[in-house]
Chains A and B, each alone.
Chain A
Amino acid sequence: MDSSEQNGAALASKLTVDDVDVEFLPLIYEIIRRYGAGVERDPHDTNQKTRESQDTSQKVLELQKKLDQARNQIRRLPGVEHSKEEQLQKLETLRKQLQLKKELLLKYRNMCTFDIPKS
């Protein structure tokens, strides 16, 4: 459990936004263009048509794969569990916490006057 979490954290820290592949448009364009070209070129050549459609379905599968991969990568992106506002709030909270702790430490360190109650 712990090790798997650490693994995930390590993977997430390695993955950056630049690694996420979101270039879907060229692929979609290619699919449409190929199909369109295939239809326009020779509507009666069944052989070529089959080949084209196989090619196209290949491309569609590629697109699907690419979409899934992008989803997986996004899930592993660091720091996207919250919206930016929430994240900034959390950052501020952490800063305050750190400040408080530092103050507490200083208080402890400078606390050298001992009052002995008279009894």
Chain B
Amino acid sequence: MASNNVSTGEKLLALIDDIELISKELIENTIAQKHQKLSSSEHLLITELLVAKDNELKEALKLANEQAKINCKMEALKREVERQDQYIQQLQRQLKEAEQILATAIYQAKQKLQSISRANKRPVPSEDLIKFAHRISASNAVCAPLTWQQGDPRRPYPTDIDMRLGYLGRLSDLPINGHLLQQQNSLSDLHRTGHPPGSELPASQQNQFAWHPSGEIHMTVGGQGSVSMDTRNHTAEDVEVMSTDSSSSSSSDSQ
């Protein structure tokens, strides 16, 4: 091998150049005048050189053949590498996406944990919450009904009047039954402005709830039958429900 750094292609081209030169020399020698001709030994040398170069060229071509096969392998490898590159890029993209999603989730979870720890540091007793809720419902409104206008006595929260109208409020006034009915009548007139005040309906039907001596309250809905409610056993439970309601609403308001 002449040198390892010369590429096979260049070597082949150089060999062809050599062959061209030598053959030129040979042909020129053949057509030259007798006195200019090379000696037979020189002629022999040139011919041998030509043959040697030709053999070298054929060897180089064999090498080139091997290299072509190696080149095929390299092409296949390159394709494989490219494929792996694509896989890696795809995977990286997916990892990036996952990272983003996880980062968002972690951020939100951290915020949640922060508020939880804040709540743990300063616990608020439920009685306070209920008290606060009462205070809010007594004086403050959060939002008005959709059709509310100035002068409308309706409120988005149960006012004292509403509470007294409810049967919870009436439970405390049980002994003075007749007096209560009258009071309710006047209150409901005040509350339901759309109703004509001088209607011929008896007071017990005009009110939504009518007290019966049996201890049950019947709610009449527009005269289409009545729904009976047992008040005796569920009073405590109802109060419970109310208090939890107010606590939840006040907690949401305070945030």
A residues with a Cβ closer than 8 A to B are 16-18, 20, 22, 24-25, 28, 31-32, 35-36, 60, 63-64, 67, 70-71, 74-75, 77-88, 90-91, 94-95, 97-98, 101-102, 104-105, 108-109, 114, 116, 119
Contacts and interface: CB of A to CB of B under 8 A. Distances in A.
Contact of B71 (A87, A95, A102): A87
A87 B54 CA distance: 24
A53 B186 CA distance: 143
A84 B2 CA distance: 13
B239 interface: no
26 contacts: A17-B65, A22-B57, A25-B50, A25-B51, A28-B27, A63-B23, A74-B12, A74-B13, A74-B64, A75-B13, A79-B64, A79-B69, A80-B12, A80-B64, A80-B68, A83-B5, A84-B8, A84-B67, A85-B4, A86-B7, A87-B74, A88-B70, A94-B81, A98-B81, A105-B87, A108-B95
Contacts of A88: 70
B4 A97 contact: no
B192 interface: no
A16 B58 CA distance: 14
State which size class the interface on B falls in. Answer: 35 or more
B81 A97 contact: yes
Contacts of B66: 84
Given A22-B57, A75-B9, A109-B91, 4 more contacts: A81-B9, A83-B4, A97-B81, A102-B84
Nearest to B62: A17
B3 to A, nearest CB: 8
B67 A71 contact: no
A60 B68 contact: no
B117 interface: no
Contact of A67 (B16, B61, B81, B102): B16
Contacts of A116: 106
A70 B77 CA distance: 30
A109 B20 CA distance: 60
Given A28-B27, A67-B19, A17 B68 contact: yes
